[in-house]
Amino acid sequence: MRRTFRLAAVLAAATLGLAACGGGGDDAAAPAEGKGGAPIVLASFNFTDSVILAELYGAALEAKGYPVERKLNIGSRELIYPSLQKGELQFIPEYQGAAIVNGFNETAPKDAASEHAKLTELFAKSNIGLLNYAPAENKNTYLVKADLAQAQGLVKIGDLKKLPNVVVAGGPECEKRPTCFAGIRDTYGVNATFQAVQEAGPRVEQLRSGAVTVIPVDSVNPLVGDPAFKALEDDLAIVPTENVVPAVAKKVLDERGPDFAATVNAVSAKLTTEELRGLNKLVDSDGELPADVAKEWLATQGLI
């Protein structure tokens, strides 16, 4: 069934290609308004649910006839934002609170609607617009080993002050972020050291081995519910609300029109935190491909 599905996708792509080149006659050569032209350059950060989100939006747009070019697993905002502002990247599924705090070094409001309004203003200076935010939320969650948490009474991030030596492992960008290591050190007052570990897999293994004390993971990561780990409460709220929101170049929004926005918004409307956690599990735990789980989910939701 998987091979049949992929063959159908290839044939569909070939058909679209012929239409774009005028190979199917006059009717086939005339795309619907706003759907022809250069591909929309779609990007993602370098973690699982960001890639899944990009695949969800990309597949939904392609099903409506919009050409899409994927540039996935690029890295952090420090790498993506300059290219987004230059127009080299045109669409990124973002997370509202983190975008405000880490992307613009501003303080995030406490609710999703206010975050959306503030982020709209911040992005407007770079000619980037926001579409509707999703109910789905993904925020940094801090994990320690469950046996350590039980032995030392670790419930909240601030409880890390009970330990003589705390090592936080995260991506290089984590060190200076107030939502990550800098927040643990400065807001919570934990005497900790930082260890840069770029990839999530090695971070988890270092936590399992006891080489590091705490690591950030996505709240939709299946590890959050793993009994081997304990998720610490962020009682001082260093991590803001993190609803998923598509950030799109205004040039694309203007050229592609209301049907483009409606297609993207329809995907966002269906996305919940639980749904996104389930998709993450299919990729991270079950070994499915992000593109496959995205298409299957869109099909079950009636979006393609």
pLDDT score, position 198: 87
What is the edge-to-edge ordering of all strands in the sheet holding 91-95?
68-75, 40-45, 91-95, 244-249, 128-130
State the pLDDT confidence band at 22, using cuts at 50, 70 and 90: very low
Residue 256's contacts (CB-CB under 8 Å, 6 or more residues apart) are 34, 35, 40, 66
Cβ–Cβ under 8 Å, residues 69 and 57: no
Residue 108 to residue 94: CA distance in whole angstroms: 14
**pLDDT at residue 87 tops 50:** yes
pLDDT score, position 206: 96
**pLDDT at residue 237 tops 80:** yes
Per-residue pLDDT averaged across 10-15, rounded?
A: 36
Q: Give the mean pLDDT of the chain.
A: 88
pLDDT score, position 34: 59
pLDDT score, position 139: 87
Q: Retrieve residue 210's tokens.
A: 């006891």
Q: What's the pLDDT tens digit per position in 193-222?
A: 999 998 888 999 999 999 999 999 988 888
**pLDDT at residue 15 tops 90:** no
Residue 15 to residue 19: CA distance in whole angstroms: 6
> SS3 for 185?
helix
State the pLDDT confidence band at 9, using cuts at 50, 70 and 90: very low
pLDDT score, position 224: 86
Per-residue pLDDT averaged across 266-290, rounded?
A: 93
Write out the DSSP string of 150-177.
HHHT--BGGGGGGSS-EEEEE-GGGGG-
**pLDDT at residue 273 tops 50:** yes
Distance of CA 6 to the CA centre of its chain: 25
Single pTM value for the model: 0.72
**pLDDT at residue 26 tops 60:** no
Is residue 190 packed enough to be buried (19+ CB in 10 Å), middle (13-18) or exposed (0-12)? buried
pLDDT score, position 23: 35
Per-residue pLDDT averaged across 165-193, rounded?
A: 95
Q: Provide, rounded to the nearest whole percent, the portion of the chain with pLDDT above 70.
A: 89
State the pLDDT confidence band at 27, using cuts at 50, 70 and 90: very low
Decide which of 173 and 161 is more confident: 161
Per-residue pLDDT averaged across 94-99, rounded?
A: 94
Q: What's the pLDDT tens digit per position in 125-160?
A: 999 999 999 999 988 899 999 999 999 999 999 999
Q: Which of 39, 42, 35, 41 is nearest to 93 (CA)?
A: 42
Cβ–Cβ under 8 Å, residues 177 and 170: no
- C-alpha to C-alpha distances, 78 to 53, 90, 95, 99, 250, nearest whole angstrom: 19, 16, 15, 11, 21
